[in-house]
Amino acid sequence: MENNATRKLVFTSLMTALVFVLTFSVKIPVPYTSGYIHLGDSMIYLSVMLLGPGYAAFASGVGSMLADIAGGYIQYAIPTLIIKALMALIMGLFTTVKSRRAILPSVIVPISAWAVFCAGTLYYMNRQIKAFGIDNIVNIVVGQDADAETIASAAKTINNMPMYFSLGIAALIAILTLTVYLVFRKSGAKVFAPASVIGMSAAGICMIMGYFIVESIMYSPLAATLSIPSNMIQFFGGIIAACLLSPAIVRARDSIK
């Protein structure tokens, strides 16, 4: 028992270091918010599989926070600590559930939160379009010399853009999550079980929503909205990397049981 506890502490330190390295070493800057895309989220997902939600929350939060500090993104340090730790805890809700009945509330909560987030984004974008003026936006997009039909078509598209944006993000998350599961499930590793894939998706939604709130406060809601696609790239890049690296993590997990 004591030997297993020591191993778990060692693996927690190792996963903290891996979260730091993959977050710090490869950074793709994101415009509008001065943030960046990285592969550290893959280690967050794998730390949950290896350590469970509690230890993984420490490794995920601390490793990511240290990477922000070392990389010169100190303004993100505390928000990152909270968001990344929450990601591990949320994924852990799915991977530790034993019955289908118990997993239902865990599925409903992130879906409901995502629906509220999409509704808020839809409301905000509609307000911004009205504030800036639909005619001004159309002139910028198609030019003042465009014919009436082109102007009418552009105006209709712009008016519907918030709805397209919100529905598109929701559909993309569902499609990519299903794709990842179908492509990688043949490996037989537990990380590819439906509960694990749903857990990673819920954790990714937490990350997107968390940074949207933080960047809305730090910069502006518009800048935060424009950063959503890059956060989604990071989200799914992390899932794919976790899927590829999972066999080694599963073997390590079995050694500390």
Identify the pLDDT of residue 232: 79
Task: Judge residue 68's burial from the number of C-beta atoms within 10 Å of its C-beta, 0-12 exposed, 13-18 middle, 19 or more buried.
Answer: buried
Please state, in angstroms and rounded to a whole number, the distance separating the CA atoms of residues 116 and 16.
Answer: 32
User: Structure tokens of 217?
Assistant: 């406060």
More confident residue, 92 or 94: 92
**Percent helix, strand and coil across the chain, each to the nearest 5:** 85, 0, 15
Residue 50 phi, psi dihedral angles, 5° rounding:
-85, -40
Q: How much is the average pLDDT of 216-241? A: 79
- Name the CA radius of gyration of the chain, rounded: 20
Distance between CA atoms of 10 and 79, rounded to whole angstroms? 26
Please answer whether residues 117 and 90 qualify as being in contact, where contact means their C-beta atoms are separated by less than 8 angstroms.
Answer: no
Neighbouring-strand partners of residue 29: 36
The structure tokens listed for 207 are 């990350």
Specify which of 75-84, 166-175, 181-190 reaches the highest per-range mean pLDDT.
75-84
Across the range 177-193, mean pLDDT stands at 59
Residue 23 has pLDDT above 80, yes or no: yes
- The pLDDT assigned to 113 comes to 67
* Mean per-residue pLDDT, 235-241: 81
CA angle, corner 196, sides to 21 and 105, nearest 5? 125
Average pLDDT of the chain, as a whole number: 77
> Looking at 70-74, 140-144, 212-216, which range is the least confident one?
140-144
Tell me the mean pLDDT in the region 29-54.
Answer: 82
* Residue pair 113/205 in contact by the 8 Å Cβ criterion: yes
Reported as a single tens digit per residue, the pLDDT across 93-147 is 877 766 656 556 666 666 676 677 677 777 777 777 777 777 776 776 667 777 7
According to the model, what pLDDT value does residue 79 have? Answer: 94
20 — pLDDT class (breaks 50, 70, 90): very high
pTM, 2 dp = 0.74
Helix (H, G, I), strand (E, B) or coil at 26: coil
Percent of the chain whose predicted confidence (pLDDT) is above 90? 18
Higher pLDDT, 216 or 182: 216
Distance CA 40, CA 18 (A): 8
Question: What's the DSSP call for residue 36?
Answer: E
Displacement of CA 18 from its chain's centroid (Å) = 18
> How many degrees, rounded to 5, is the angle at CA 202 between CA 128 and CA 41?
95
Please, what is the Cα angle at 106 between 187 and 43, to 5 degrees? 45
Structure confidence at residue 225 as a pLDDT band (50, 70, 90):
confident
Sort strands 36-37 and 28-29 into parallel, antiparallel or unpaired. Answer: antiparallel
Question: Higher pLDDT residue, 187 or 159?
Answer: 159
Q: Residue 132 has which token pair? A: 């800036």
Helix (H) or strand (E) holding 14: helix 2-25
**pLDDT score of 157 more than 90:** no
